[in-house]
Chain A
Amino acid sequence: MASSQSTAIRRLMTEYKELTLHAPEGITAGPLSEDNYLVWEALICGPEDTPLEGGVFTAILTFPRDYPLSPPQMRFTTPLYHPNIYPDGRVCISILHAPGEDPNMYESSSERWSPVQSVEKILLSVVSMLAEPNDESPANVDAAKLFRTDRKAYEERVRKNAQESLGL
């Protein structure tokens, strides 16, 4: 148990260093405090050419003690109206599910969590999820419905999220 925890922390430290030096454009992430490597905050810029462009969205990632065997959980702390984000901010994408625990029964195991994935890959997946919602397995049914039936109203609402995220 103690050794699996130090594995998690060693791995998270390596990832933190890597992200500090080479994080993809528009992403900043690291532990909220180095006293606890299992809780991170990530800042993600709204992807360009989407209604989220211009916003900066914050999320908390909580890692299990057996990371990287099990995936972290991710929850946006700025409001985001999006088909794949639960109203309470929890993110629902396949890379955050270990193979075998597939609530939607459609994800291929290649895009699931495995120890070769990383925080960086999760955040990149989230960026593309933000840019291209998947309305087949909605976490927010209302958002998925609006996305499908009235794209203009959906984009209007999402643009507001981008503005709110900056406190403007």
Chain B
Amino acid sequence: MSIFSVAFLLIALVAAYKLIFSGPASNRPPSSRTPALRPVPRAKIDAVASMFPDLARDAIEYDLARSGSVERTVDNIINGRLQSPPPTFQSSSSSSSSSSSSGPSRSSNSTPTPPPTLALLQTANKEELDAIVDNPPPRVWTDTPESRAKNLRDRKLLMIEQARRKFAQKSAES
């Protein structure tokens, strides 16, 4: 047996050993495989939480910390790849002695959050709302995603603002 075939055998053995024993991350130092967890801006957690209000914020934050992107995390959620954060995970909210919910379950947030319609309304000031009601956004399909997003937002605002005004009018009459 030449020295080369011995060396080859050794390398193969080491590779096989690594393959067999590298399975669960628990028996290896986490730094060797898990990507570094990034701190997650609150706005990103809010963005995902608004789409999936029933998911625990911890779970969302944990996934964002690993994915680094709202889009990838949304993909993970849609495809059922959202994992429960490990007990060692320090979420930004866990330090404030809030309930440590386990796994992706409905967060036990007791403060009622304002309806999403209000959040949308708050993106516009009174003048803008008046302008939208007086001059309803046209139903057009424009060329750029930006102008389509603006048109969609304005049409949503119109619906909400008209409903609010009607409601106020009705309760004033009765």
Contacts and interface: CB of A to CB of B under 8 A. Distances in A.
Interface of A: 17, 20-23, 26, 28, 30, 32-36, 38-39, 41, 43, 45, 54-56, 58, 60, 62-65, 75, 77-79, 88-89, 163-168
Given A21-B141, A34-B149, A54-B170, A88 B117 contact: no
Interface stretch (B14-22, B37-45, B92-100, B161-169): B161-169
Q: Main SS of the interface on chain B?
A: helix
Interface stretch (B4-12, B58-66, B81-89, B152-160): B152-160
Contacts of B139: 20-23
Interface stretch (B25-33, B71-79, B123-131): B71-79
A85 B96 CA distance: 33
Interface of B: 50-54, 71, 74-75, 77-79, 106, 114-118, 121, 139-141, 145, 148-149, 151-152, 155-156, 159-160, 163-164, 166-168, 170
B144 to A, nearest CB: 9
B148 A166 contact: no
6 contacts: A39-B78, A60-B52, A65-B78, A75-B53, A77-B115, A165-B115
Given A36-B74, A166-B164, A58 B116 contact: yes
Contact of B118 (A36, A55, A167): A167
A167 B114 contact: yes
B167 A168 contact: yes
Contacts of A36: 71, 74-75
A168 B149 CA distance: 26
A36 B79 CA distance: 14
